[in-house]
Each structure stands twice: as C-alpha cells, then as structure tokens.
Amino acid sequence: MSNIVAIVGRPNVGKSTLFNRLIQRREAIVDAVSGVTRDRHYGRTDWNGKEFSLIDTGGYVMGSDDIFEQEIDKQVELAIDEADVVIFVVDVETGITGMDEDVARLLRQTEKPVLLAVNKVDNAMREADAVEFYGLGLGDYHTISGINGSGTGDLLDALVELL
Ligand code: GDP
Ligand code: MG
C-alpha cells in the first residue's frame, strides 16, 4: 500500500473528527472522553485524483501520566515509520500543552513531511489565536475545523502535493 497519511496528536484535539470528515465515512469512533482504549483506524480515500490511506491514531490507554505520554510517543513514532506524510493536530481552544510540545519534539526529528493542523478554528475570531502554534517550531500551519469542515480543503490540497 502506498501513500500513507497518519493523523497524530494528543487526545481530544479532534483527530477522529478530522479522520471521519476526510474519509467521509463514520468509521472512527469519536469520543469526548479521553483515555478510552481505541484501535487505530484506517480508511482509503482520494483528493484531486490522488488516492491515499489515512490512519487515525489514538488507541491510547489511560494509566499513570507517564504511561499516557509513552503511549502517545509510541503512536507518533509508529506513524513516522509507516506514513509518507504526518498530519499533526492541535487544539486552538486549549492552546499549546506539554503533550503537544512532546509530540512536536518527535516530529521535528523526522525527515518526513509534517502538516500542522490547528483544529477547532470554527470561526474567524479564532484565526488570531492560532498564531501561538508557531511556537511549536514546525513552521506554518493550517487552520481547520473538523466539525464544520472549514480549511480542510486547503489542508487536503497541501497534503496531496506532498504525496
Ligand atoms: P481525538 O481524541 O483527537 O480523536 O478527538 P475527537 O475527534 O474524539 O474529538 C474530541 C472532542 O473535540 C469531541 O467532543 C469533538 O466533538 C470535539 N471537536 C473535534 N473537532 C472539533 C472542531 O473542529 N471544533 C470544535 N469546536 N470541536 C471539535
Ligand atoms: Mg480519536
């Protein structure tokens, strides 16, 4: 299988919501409660005539905070290994958290292309709040709303350019 795209990020940033929107099916389990054990989900889709497989990571197991962070690291490292492009989702409502910084640190070490998606930008007012994510050291970002779909077309345009 070629053209693999992995969606990574800490729990509750909206990875599964974005996954659902991008594959336009209800395959991922969207759960507002963090720490629930969930399997990774795969879907095949296409954009502008380019096909790709999408991986929704997020089978995290809640234990101690340490295990929690280790799980995320494992998921991110697996995604970096498997994927051709990584979509790193963060949440404009919470801003940058320690876990985001942890994930960003791993992603800055890979040669693979990383798209930073600032999610929950549901309205124009939130665009300005997104600028803090330059602080992750991953360069420019795409503002999106997994819920209403805004920005996801531009994200997909950028994504298929990298495949
Ligand atoms: P995951 O843990 O990263 O897979 O996150 P989920 O997709 O399960 O979403 C976590 C919560 O964020 C849910 O309550 C979603 O409805 C909410 N959410 C996801 N995307 C958006 C968005 O674009 N805007 C807003 N306001 N909420 C969102
Ligand atoms: Mg999820």
pLDDT for residue 112 is more than 60: yes
What SS3 class is residue 145? coil
pLDDT value of residue 67: 58
Residues with CB under 5 A from ligand 2 (ion): 15-16, 58
Q: Read off the pLDDT of residues 70-91 as tens digits, 9 standing for 90 and up.
A: 888 888 898 889 999 999 999 9
Give, for ligand 1, the residue of 8, 10, 12, 97 to mutate: max count of ligand atoms closer than 8 Å to Cβ.
12
Decide whether any atom of ligand 1 lies within 6 Å of the 57 Cβ.
no
Neighbours of 21 (CB within 10 A): 19
Q: Are strands 50-56 and 41-47 parallel, antiparallel or unpaired?
A: antiparallel
ipTM: 0.99
pLDDT of residue 130: 98
Q: Which domains does the chain have, with CATH numbers?
A: 4-161 (3.40.50.300)
Distance CA 100, CA 38 (A): 20
Token code pair at residue 37: 């054990």
Residue 13, ligand 1, Cβ within 6 A: yes
Helix axes 65-82, 98-107, angle to 10 degrees: 30
Q: Tell me the per-residue pLDDT of 15-71, one tens digit each, with 9 for 90 and over.
A: 989 998 998 754 444 444 444 444 447 888 999 999 999 998 875 544 445 557 788
Q: In what order do the strands lie in the sheet with 114-119?
A: 41-47, 50-56, 4-8, 85-91, 114-119, 142-143
